[in-house]
A and B are shown apart, each in its own frame.
Chain A
Amino acid sequence: MAATQTRLRRRESLTGYLFASPWLLGFFALTFGPMILSFLFAFLRWDGISPKTIAWVGLGNYFRAFRDPDVRIALANTAYYSFLSVPLSLAFALGLAVLLNQKLRCISLFRTIFYMPSVISGVGTIMMWLWVFNPDYGLLNGALRQGCNLLASLGIESARHWALPKWLMSESWAIPSLILMNLWGAGASMLIFLAALQNVPDSLYEAAELDGAGRWSQFVHVTIPQISPAIFFNLIMGIIGSFQVFAQSFLMTGGGPNKATLFYVLYLYDKAFLDFEIGYASALAWILFVIIMFFTLLVVRSGKRWVYYEGE
């Protein structure tokens, strides 16, 4: 009997692995393999063109990273972006999900509209935002200029001469601009929140109402704990994604002005593919891995205090 069960279990695992094999093949060939290689490269100095130029430097690349002022700049920029964009995105996505969870006519249409930015190609989005942020003829400053003119016509004459933000062309506004742009793509998180909100049992709200809880209390003491697994998931994905921010600065600012949007992954890319320092770039990648792992574990550990699972 036990032997038959073992055989059945083994067969089931084999079937499972077989079904997963295309993904496993891709993972080992395209992700795990390069990871191992990059771990080895991190101990080398190599131009990435010819094996002739390989030289062993041991931990030299890691020591160099700790001394490199641009690593500090890139880390500071990335941290600034992450610590602002992750909570803001979560709050924005949750707010949208709450609004789209109302029983209104045409709500499906609104849900589609708000989710749509998430399915538009990243490069297309970036091109559009380049126009929106254009200080001269962009949508944002166009609207702000109209606002200033309106204020001027109401008697605040100085409004006509107020300096408008230069957005991506300004050192101080560049990262806030990218954060603002990031909010526009909050549709994926919003969808997860929406699904979680729809799973909150009505009976809990009814009980809370009977206990005299108002709307806000219900939201804080019923909704938030009930959707905490979704918050937890979105938070972890947000942290990982924000530390890996790359395309925006690569395509929109090139890391400028004056390194104001030099994010860590962009610097890593510059080192690997512009300066041909594959070893150093690999070491930078592993440092980023450790940083992301640290923050992820921090959130996972803290999750025990604030994430509520129904089955537990």
Chain B
Amino acid sequence: MPGWLLGEIGLWIVAATAAAGAALATWREAHRLTRILAGLALAAFAAGALVWMFRDTYAYYYAQKDAYLRVSYWGSYQEHQMWQEILAAFRHRYPDIPVKQAYITDRYEEKIQQLLLANDAPDVMLFQDEPLPRFITSGKFQVLDEFCKTPGIELDLQRDYWDTAVQSFQQDGKTYGIPVWGGDCLILYNRAAFRDAGVPEPPERWTTEQFLDTCRKLTADTDGDGRYDRFGFDIPGWVYWLPFHYAFGADYLDPARTRWTLWGKEAEASYQFWQDLRYKFHVAPQRAELTEGGNVAFMTGRVAMFVSGPWAMPPLNEAGIDFDIADIPSGPGGHATRVTWDALVMFAGSKKKDWAWKLVHFITSRPAQEIVARFQRSVPALKAAQDAFIRANPKVRARRFIDALAYARFQPITRHWNLMGREIGSETDSMLDNRQSAAQTLRRLAINRHLAECFGMPEESAAPNP
């Protein structure tokens, strides 16, 4: 019999005895000592009741929690299915390691933050590259370099994984996460929309001019009611615009990611093109013209192209959409795109680090990476799984996501990523609603107080307000 249960029974015996004493005291209207006893009885009774109420919770969270290895992740239902499959394979490989999964469907980072604060975080956590710098400073993520050398379950990150994937989770020469999957952003296009419009599919390589020409041909009022029924392109938010931004030769931060560099003719050309697609050329819907969400619009053919990564493919595959992948058009800055990765990190306070490493090693090794490839959730971080990724859906040229890794660039990730995203998002919202020009947007961002506190201002911003 567990100790806590014995304690509970003892407490209830004390409570019952004391309650009887209390009843006696009330009956006799007795003196202080009996009233104290009555009070104690009540307190013991209340304590017993609390134990009774919370014993299951206690048993679940404290008595049993150390018996399991816990792993947390987020994602769609399809991704959850993929995790089920991966963990089933892990259980088959390591039947003596019980794993519990925490599928956190919403506000993942906030929940992980709370769990880290309570020192009750899962042993292994799926983590994105963007929030990582903010979490690393807490010292609650295990440095994994030594684990990579564990005999029999070692990992050679430099040789076997994509460079950008490995570098995304390293800081000051230390590895905080083992990359699992990720990818770059390209253009997904609805082949049916192209066929309906009689427009040839995008070529292997194309320029922004060719892209604009294709968008113009695709945009049409098919029922003659004066409103466009099909748009060439759905303009994205600032993160998904990064591939175009890079193609125009612009960037947000310097290579050291300490100084704001969103200034000059390249940045202005990028922002101007972004705005013009909507207002000058009208090949992208305005906000009120497309309220059903980009994915739905793409599936129904209301927009023919949008920017996304391989993670956009599973729902499109499931819905049976006839789509394919095209490169980001090249501009003055050449051929470019952005890359982003997810990794598994280990909680530094984990009591089962040897188990945790076995799980990390398993998920980032070939059997599990081929499951990832089959779902086409993202590009597997392990290079050896790329063929499985390409073969998963032969109708779509998924190889393009692999090829693009050769020239894909990092995002401007710093510990101020969220704040930066909010400030850029807010200003570019105004621009994309045609309330301010591209030049004004750049100027306002350059003098933005929050950004200036984090990154300083470019010297050029001293120029008169455009």
Contact = CB atoms under 8 A, between A and B. Distances in A.
Contact of A47 (B110, B134, B429): B134
Interface stretch (A32-40, A228-236, A240-248, A253-261): A253-261
A87 B412 CA distance: 46
B426 A273 contact: no
Contact of B418 (A49, A171, A258, A275): A275
Interface stretch (B60-68, B263-271, B286-294, B385-393): B286-294
B135 A49 contact: yes
Interface string B427-439: 1011001010000
Contacts of A275: 416, 418-419
A124 interface: no
A166 B286 CA distance: 11
B450 interface: yes
Contacts of B426: 256, 258-259
- Chain B contact residues (Cβ within 8 angstroms of A): what range? 20 to 34
Interface in A268-284: 270, 273-276
B25 to A, nearest CB: 13
B140 interface: yes
B105 interface: no
Contacts of A255: 422
B113 interface: yes
Given A47-B137, A270-B422, A169 B287 contact: yes
A70 B139 contact: no
A136 B288 contact: yes
Contacts, number: 70
A216 interface: no
A258 B422 CA distance: 9
Q: Please report whether the interface of chain B is mostly helix, strand, loop or mixed according to DSSP.
A: helix
A61 B110 CA distance: 22
B117 A258 contact: no
B449 interface: yes
Contacts of A70: 450
B113 A273 contact: yes
Contacts of A296: none
Contact of A169 (B110, B288, B422): B288
B396 interface: no
Contacts of A134: 291
Given A48-B113, A49-B138, A166 B288 contact: yes
Interface in B420-458: 422, 425-427, 429-430, 433, 435, 449-450
Given A257-B433, A275-B418, A53 B138 contact: yes
Contacts of B139: 50, 52
Interface in A9-34: 18
A311 interface: no
A123 to B, nearest CB: 12
Contacts of A259: 426
A70 B110 CA distance: 22
Interface string B280-310: 0000000111111000000000000000000
A212 interface: no
Contacts of B117: 48-50
Nearest to B450: A70
Contact of A136 (B140, B291, B419): B291
21 contacts: A47-B137, A47-B138, A49-B113, A49-B117, A50-B137, A50-B138, A53-B138, A69-B449, A136-B288, A136-B290, A136-B292, A137-B291, A171-B433, A255-B422, A257-B429, A258-B426, A258-B429, A258-B430, A274-B418, A274-B419, A275-B418
Nearest 5 CB-CB pairings of A with B: A50-B138, A49-B138, A135-B288, A136-B291, A258-B430
